[in-house]
Amino acid sequence: MKAAPVRLIVPRLPFWPKLSAEEQAVVSERAVVRRFGKGQLVSSNSSECLGIVFILEGEIRVSMTSDDGREVSLYHARKDEVCVSTASCVIRQLTFDTAVVAERDTSLLVVPAMVCARLMESNVHVRAFVFESETERFSQAVRAIQLMLFKRFDQRLASYLVSHFERSGSDEIRKTQEEIARDVNSAREVVARMLREFADKGLVEIRRGLIKLHNVDGLRKIL
């Protein structure tokens, strides 16, 4: 697939209409498209500082990691969404370490960190947009952590399956149990055991690399 030239893509940035003609020219000139394969590291605090990314295709996952490599998933960002966690070097309020990984083959429009820094300085609309996005992401992250800390595991897994259904409109979740475990911050064995329990109750059907939802209302009752 031949990609469209960057100047045809940049108007999809949500803050584009709020940029001056001069700022638009800078973004057109400096933004780049980058591709990441499934599982590839997009950014981390020890790697280069990428900048603000807009997801053209695919999906990324933002997690925090401990010194000894333990990982907690905070949120996912999907097609047509922006992620600013990849610009933490220019957002002094982001003071903890995250890692961003491509969940599938992913194409990103990257507005380089230095360009973001200048826009946030010169344009209060960009500034408001960046922090509004980040507030929304943080809310998602805190809700994920809240589930992890406060809910029984069957509730967490049911909540994950139901919100997947509500977001995608599809009753098929094309993820491995390993991937689901990462998303709900648990171990694969724990996920496998609970999915078998759900399957025994006729709530889901387990197939290879795929969970099919049979009874979404039944899952909702667990929440």
Residues that bind its own copies (CB under 8 A): 64, 66-68, 70, 72, 74, 91, 93-96, 124-125, 127-128, 131-132, 134-136, 138-143, 145-146, 149-151
What is the Cα–Cα distance from 172 to 137, expressed in whole angstroms? 25
DSSP labels, 75-128: EEEETT-EE-GGGGGG-TT--S-EEEEESSSEEEEEEEHHHHHHHHHH-HHHHH
Rounded distance, CA 60 to CA 76, Å?
6
Contacts for 176 with CB less than 8 Å, ≥ 6 apart: 209
Using CA atoms, how far apart are residues 106 and 54, in angstroms rounded to an integer? 11
Residue with Cβ nearer its own copies (85 or 107): 85
Residue 152 vs 174, nearer CB to its own copies: 152
Closer CB to its own copies, residue 15 or residue 54? 15
- For the bound state, the minimum distance from the C-beta of residue 92 to its own copies, rounded and expressed in Å, comes to 9
Tell the smallest beta-carbon distance from residue 140 to its own copies (Å): 8
For the CB of residue 209, give the shortest distance to its own copies in the complex, in Å.
Answer: 29
CB of 151 to its own copies, least distance (A): 8
Backbone phi, psi, residue 185, to 5°: 55, 55
Taking the least distance from each CB to its own copies, the nearer of 26 and 145 is 145
22 vs 68, which CB is nearer to its own copies? Answer: 68
Residue 219's closest CA among 148, 141, 140, 165? 165
Output the smallest distance, CB 93 to its own copies, in A.
4
Rg for the chain, CA atoms, rounded: 19
Least distance in angstroms from the C-beta of 71 to its own copies: 10
Specify the residue, 88 or 107, whose C-beta has the smaller distance to its own copies.
88
Do residues 106 and 43 make contact, with C-beta atoms less than 8 angstroms apart?
A: no
Cα 196–Cα 200–Cα 201 angle in degrees, nearest 5: 120
